[in-house]
Chains A and B, each alone.
Chain A
């Protein structure tokens, strides 16, 4: 499996806070990687550093073998890195269709507006928002906005897609629908890094999981390894519980 994304000892500091400390990680082509960790562990910072929203204080980021550590966000978007946002942010006054068309239009050079709209319409059908195409984006419910984020991200024809908490705030059936979509996106050959709090989603969808805590990588393995890893249980549930569950065997 070829490596799409490689992080080499990436660090990021905000004043006195070490948000990422020497994180090394590689993501294989076609993989669905789960990135988990407690609140404030540095998950979103990691995505921000890779996509160029924040610069790395130290270390290198390689995408398809190319050093992208110093690229601007619009440049990473054009070479095939896309992301969704924890806090959804559509262009409120544009229609749902044009929101997606904007993503298709600006991420690839030489796209025409009509082509972008056509491609956008297909992506809207894909996420099940086809009937809302002409509606203004601010009229959508939260669940629909999350799906709109997915459509926008896919419309950028990414090679690597970061999904940042696409399931937060959704109910059970909406989560199930989102999981189906994520699987279908993966089937297109798009590598996915999934940031997620719902363990059910991570354990079913991901083939491999990495765990961040206080900006450092503390575990990397299959879903089975991760649920049995003592440090992970500690990070999430506290030392006492980890000792207790270990004692129980």
Chain B
């Protein structure tokens, strides 16, 4: 029964990992930008949920409706105003730029919110569901459902919409796409906006489960990295598979080796994958 309980927890955690990684993977895959701000965007999303609940009593799932457009506009603006200027430069340049922007954003959050851990505690609590001896808190199930819905929404935006197909086309061949009438700088900004919106929304959902602090941004970024490499870079299904896989390995790994070794295990796995299967589990090249 313990194994089933751990598996259940891992699935909940894995769907959140998928949500964290999908936006990161999109930006990396389409723009070839490793966005080091991703973790801080997640934390900022958590603060948004926390603030909205604390001050106005807005439930986190309602905050998603605010977070998605706000973070999209934030990301769109950053790409249009800053990143697009150096997008053609080698990856180290954009990496350094996002690193610098992350320092600004993260330290601004430290100044604004302090490094104290805060917790969004729903009142009244949603309680927990139990089937037999399996127990899951309802807030975790809610977070899982919304993260899966968001990931699915991103998948369908990329698959079915005009803008999604333009993103895929730009990823495959930027020059050919622009000669067909794709406004490449605007598509870059849209892709970055979508990635940022996914990060912000993931942060809102994570606020229901984990304590909030600017210090957490590095660990979220690390998860996004590992999930992308495990699942295969640049695909939404890859993020889902990678997220679930990482969560399962971490959960069972902490059972066997102790929870203090979970992070070591996940980064060890990252190294193994980079050597043995660098294209990831799904290993698709096109963003589908």
Contact = CB atoms under 8 A, between A and B. Distances in A.
Contacts of B180: 74, 77, 102-103, 106-107, 152, 156
Residue from B161, B165, B166, B180 with most neighbouring chain A CB atoms (10 Å)? B180
A227 interface: no
A236 interface: no
Interface string B149-176: 0000000000011100110010011011
Contacts of A108: 181
**Contact size range, A:** 20 to 34
A83 B180 CA distance: 9
Given A93-B285, A113-B162, A74 B173 contact: no
A51 interface: yes
Given A77-B178, A89-B176, A108-B181, 18 more contacts: A51-B179, A73-B179, A74-B179, A77-B180, A78-B181, A83-B179, A91-B176, A93-B172, A93-B286, A94-B286, A102-B180, A105-B162, A106-B181, A106-B182, A111-B162, A113-B160, A113-B161, A156-B180
A92 interface: yes
Interface in A84-115: 89-94, 102-103, 105-108, 111-113
Contacts of A89: 173, 175-176
Contacts, number: 61
A16 to B, nearest CB: 24
A113 B165 contact: yes
Contacts of B116: none
Contacts of A93: 172, 285-286
Interface residues of B, number: 20
A74 to B, nearest CB: 5
Contacts of B169: 91, 102, 106
A25 interface: no
A53 interface: yes
Contacts of A113: 160-162, 165
A112 B160 CA distance: 10
